[in-house]
Structure 1
C-alpha cells in the first residue's frame, strides 16, 4: 500500500492509501449533444466523473452551436459572448452574478470565499477563451447538426453586456439563441459556485448524474441557494462550508464534521500541509487518498470526520503550570527541541457512531497526539500580531517560558489562570500545528518571528485580557 503524503517545507504528513483517479476522468458513456424533442437536438452533461476543465470543454459546445446559428463570423462574435461571460463571473459590476466585491465582507470566511470567487471566475473564462478557437465541436458535429440545437432554459436574471444583447437579440438572434446562451451562462455560474469551498478547486473530481428534471449542474441549485444565503447574510461558518462541499461532491452524508471522505477521495481543511501562519482557515482541500479503508467495495465509504470535543468549551482542561519565569527584556528565547519530528501521521479512530482522526508524531522517543479537528479549530481561532498604537506602551510582568513538549504532554486542552506563556517551536511547523490543537483556543497568538516589535504587537493582540499564549 502506497501511503499518501503531503510535504510541509522539510517535513511530511502521511496517512491512508493514495488513489489514482485519472483513468475515471473524461470517460463518459454518452454525449452532451443528443436527440431532443422532434427534430431538435438537446444539450446535457453525460453521467461521469468531471473536474472543472472537463465541464468547461462540454460547455463550449453550446457556445459553438450559438455561433453557428448566428452565422459566425459575420453575425456572431465569440469574443463578445465571452466578454459577457466574464462580466457575469466577476465579483463586481452591473451584470455580476455574485457581487461580493461591493459587499466587502470582512469576516474571514467571507473574505476567503470572495477571493475564491474572483480567482475561479478568471480561470474558467480563460479556459473558455482557450477552447473556443479550436472549434473541436464544429469539426465533430458539423454546422448542420449544431444548427438544430434548441431547448428551454429555465433560468432568469443573467444580465448581458450591451454588445452581447445586440448579438443575442439582434436580427440573427432571438429567443432560441437566448435560451442556449442563458443556459451557457448559468452552467458556468453553477460551476464557479460549486467550487468555492475548495482551495485546490482545479483538482477536485465530482460526479455528475443525469436527471430527467435537471440539466447539467442544475442538481446543485438547492444546496447552492442555501450556501449563498448564508454567505450573503454574513452567517457563513466552517460547518456550513463543509456541509455545502459534501452536497457538491455527492457524499450522501447527513452528519457534518470538519472534513469527510467520499467515493473519490478525502476533503479536509486547507491548512493541512501548509504553514500555519499563512494557510486559509475556512477553505477546504481535496486529497486523492483513502483515509478510511473500504470494506467489500471498490468505492470509498462516505465518512464524516468528527471533533473529539464537539464543544471545546466543555472539554477537559489542564493548566500549563508556571513554566520558567522570564522578562520582556530576555525575550525572544530560541529553544531547539531535543528531537525535531520530521513526519506526522494521521491516525483514524472509527467507533460505533463516529470517526475521529489524530495528528501524531514522535519526539524525544515519545509519541504525541492531538485531535485533528481541534488542531483546525485552534487554527481558525488563533490571532496574529496586530500593529497598535498601544504596542510598546503595555508592559507585562508575568511572562513564562514553556517547552513545547511539556505543553503537548498534558491531557485535555491546555490553559492557565493568568499570565503570558511563551512557547517556542524551534521553527518546526509540525509542532506549531500540534500546539494549536492542544492549547485552549481562546487567546493564542502565533508569531512568525520573535523580534521586539512583533512581541510588543503580540502583547496587545488577541482578546486584550486574560491568559495569553504566544507560539513562535
Structure 2
C-alpha cells in the first residue's frame, strides 16, 4: 500500500496507507426480493457495503413493483411517483420531509447542511429517474415476480403530491401499493439524511447489515432522530455531526472527537486539502486511507481522533510578543519569501486511552507541528473580512500593528495570543502554513485574508468579536 495524499494547489498532505474499497462495493450474494410470508414476496436491502448510488439501485425494484401492480403504462405513471419523491426530498413545500428552507438557518452548520440536503436530494432523484428509465429491474425479475411483492411498511409520515395520491389510492391502487411506495420514500429519505454530514457523500462507503426487525436503512432511525432534533432545534455542534456520521457508517464508536477511522477508511473535517478561507467548516469528508496501522492479520480498527486540548480555553497560552512594529498604512507587507513547505504530514500519536493527530511541516529550515483537532477548531472559529454592522458602537479601536513571521508564531508553545493590537502574519499564500497557524493561534479574532487589498483590510479591522487582540493571516 502506498502513502495516501491530498493535493492542495502546489502542496500535498500525506499520511497513512491508501486502501482500495472498490472490490467490496455493492457485492452481496443475496437478492433484494426474497420469499416473504405466505405466497407473497418481500424486499430488503441485502447485507453488504454500499455507496449512495448502489442503494438507489437496490430501491428501484420497489418502484418497478408498484408500476407493474398499477398496470404501467396505462395506470401507473413513473413520472408522477418520482415527482412526489422529489417533493419529499425538497427542503420546502407541503410534503417536504426536511423543511430546512422555511427555517432559514443562519448558523454556519445549518447553512452547510441545508445546501447539502438540496444537492443530495436532487442527485438521488436524478439517479432514480435514470434507473427507472433503463427498466433493468423489470428485465431482471419479470412482471410476474414484481407483481407478488407485498409487505407492511411501518411509517406514516410521508405525504404525497395530489397526482401521486390519485394514482396510489386510485381504482388500481390501494393499501398494498401504498405500503410499497411508503417504504420507497422512507428509504430514500433515510439515505438523504444519512449522507448530510459528508461533503463527498457520493463516495462514502458504509455497511448495511440485515435485521429481522426492520428493513434496509431503518437501523439509522434512532441516530437520525437525535441528529435532526439538534439540527432543527439549532443546537447542532461539530461533535454531534461526527457522532451521527459514526453511526451512519456503522463504526461501532460511541465517543466522538473531531474525526475517526473505521473499517472502510478515515473521516475528517472537509476543510483538509481545501483553501482555508473558503473550505466548509462543519461538513466531513471520507478518505480511502488507513490512518492508524493495524497488524496485517487484523481488520482496520475503529478509532476516534481526540483533541489535544479538550477545552481550548484551558489550554496553555503564550504571548505572541511585540514582533516588528508596523502601521495600517503600510499593510500588507511581506517579511521575505517563505522557504517551503510544499509537503505536510499527519502524524498519529496513540496513547493507552486516546489518539491524536498532528500536522507536521518544515518551514524556514525548522520542523513544526500542530494538533490537527485544534487546527480544525481554529478553522471553525475563524473570521473572514466581512465587516461588522455595529462597528461604530461595539468595536474597540485597535491602534498598534505588529508584524510576525509565521515561523516565529509556530515556534511558540501552547496557543498563541496577545493582549491588544493588530498582529499581521504573512504566509505568501502558502495554504499549509495558513492551516498550521489556525492550529496555533488562540481561536478568537483570527481573520483569514484573501489578498490584503485596502478594502479587504478595512473590513478585516472591524471583523470578529469587536474586542481583544486581532490576528490577520494573509
- Deviations 1:118-169, CA, capped at 9 Å, x for gaps: 1100000000011101111111111111100000000001000000000000
Whether contact under 8 Å (1:422, 1:469) holds in the other structure is: yes
| 8 A contact 2:347–2:360 mirrored in 1 | yes
Equivalence map 1:132-281=2 (5 Å):
132-281=132-281
Q: Decide which of 440, 446, 450 is 1:444's aligned counterpart.
A: 446
Q: For the Cα contact (< 8 Å) 1:328–1:396, is it kept in 2?
A: no
Deviation at 1:325, TM superposition (A): 0.7
* CA distance, structure 1, for counterparts of residue 260 and residue 390 of structure 2: 43
TM-score scaled by structure 1? Answer: 0.98
Q: Secondary structure at the match of 1:217?
A: helix
Cα distance in 2 for partners of 1:328, 1:390 equals 21
Other-structure match for 2:15:
15
Q: Is the 8 A contact 1:276 1:432 kept in 2?
A: yes
Helix, strand or coil for the counterpart of 1:49? strand
Q: Secondary structure at the match of 2:154?
A: coil
Query: Paired residue for 2:464?
Result: 462
* Offset at residue 396 of structure 1 (A): 4.0
**Secondary structure at 1:367 match in 2:** strand
Write the distance in 2 (CA, Å) between the matches of 1:336 and 1:158: 61
The CA deviation at 1:417 is 1.3
Q: Which residue does 1:49 correspond to in 2?
A: 49
Q: Tell me the distance in 1 between the aligned counterparts of 2:295 and 2:234.
A: 41
Alpha-carbon distance between aligned partners in 2 of 1:390 and 1:133, rounded to the nearest angstrom: 55
Preserved contact between residue 276 and residue 429 of structure 1 (Cα < 8 Å)? yes
* Deviation of 1:388 (Å): 4.7
Deviation at 1:286, TM superposition (A): 0.2
How far did 1:298 drift?
4.4
1:255 Cα offset (Å): 1.4
- Contact between 1:336 and 1:425, CA under 8 Å: does it hold in 2? no
- Counterpart of 1:295? 295
Asked if structure 2 preserves the Cα contact closer than 8 Å seen for 1:87 and 1:96, the reply is yes
Q: How far apart in 1 are the matches of 2:366 and 2:379?
A: 24
Q: Which residue of 1 aligns with 2:437?
A: 435
Bigger shift: residues 283-292 or 386-395: 386-395
Secondary structure, aligned partner of 1:13: strand
Report the 3-state secondary structure (helix = DSSP H, G, I; strand = E; otherwise coil) of the residue aligned with 1:102.
helix
Contact kept in structure 2, 1:391 and 1:459, CA below 8 Å: no
Q: Secondary structure at the match of 1:16?
A: strand
- Pairing 1:406-445 to 2, within 5 Å after superposition: 406-445=408-447
User: How big is the shift at 1:387?
Assistant: 3.6
- Contact 1:220-1:248 within 8 A present in 2 as well: yes
**Distance in 2 between the 1:64 and 1:173 partners?**
14
Give the corresponding residue for 2:283: 283
The structural deviation recorded for 1:91 is 0.1
Q: Partners of 1:337 and 1:19 in 2: how far apart? A: 37
Per-residue Cα deviation, 1:150-198 (whole angstroms, up to 9, x for no partner): 0000000100000000000000000000000000000000000000000
CA offset at residue 241 of structure 1? 0.1
Distance, in Å, in 1 between the alignment partners of 2:436 and 2:61 is 49
Is 1:397 aligned with 2:372?
A: no
SS of equivalent to 1:28: coil
RMSD: 1.3
Distance in 1 (alpha carbons) for counterparts of 2:196 and 2:390: 38
Match of 1:90 in 2: 90
State the alpha-carbon separation in 2 of the partners of residues 366 and 459 from structure 1: 31
The answer as to whether partners of 1:392 and 1:456 remain within 8 angstroms in 2 is no
Please state how far the C-alpha of 1:295 moved relative to its aligned partner.
2.4
- When the two structures are aligned, how many residues end up with a matched partner? 472
Q: Deviations over 1:236-255 (max 9, x none)?
A: 00000000000111111121
Cα distance in 2 between the residues matched to 1:129 and 1:389: 46
What SS class does the counterpart of residue 271 from structure 1 fall into?
Answer: coil
Q: Distance in 1 between matches of 2:327 and 2:197?
A: 44
Contact 2:361–2:368 (CA<8 Å) still a contact in 1? yes
Structure 1 alignment gaps of length 5 or more: none
- 4+ runs deviating over 6 angstroms: 389-395
1:392 Cα deviation from its structure 2 partner? 10
C-alpha distance in 2, partners of 1:211/1:391?
A: 58
Question: In 1, Cα distance between the equivalents of 2:89 and 2:338?
Answer: 52
CA distance in structure 2 between the aligned counterparts of 1:249 and 1:318, rounded to whole angstroms:
40
Residues 258 and 269, structure 1, Cα contact 8 Å, conserved in 2: yes
The equivalent residue for 1:5 is 5
Q: Is the 8 A contact 1:43 1:149 kept in 2?
A: yes
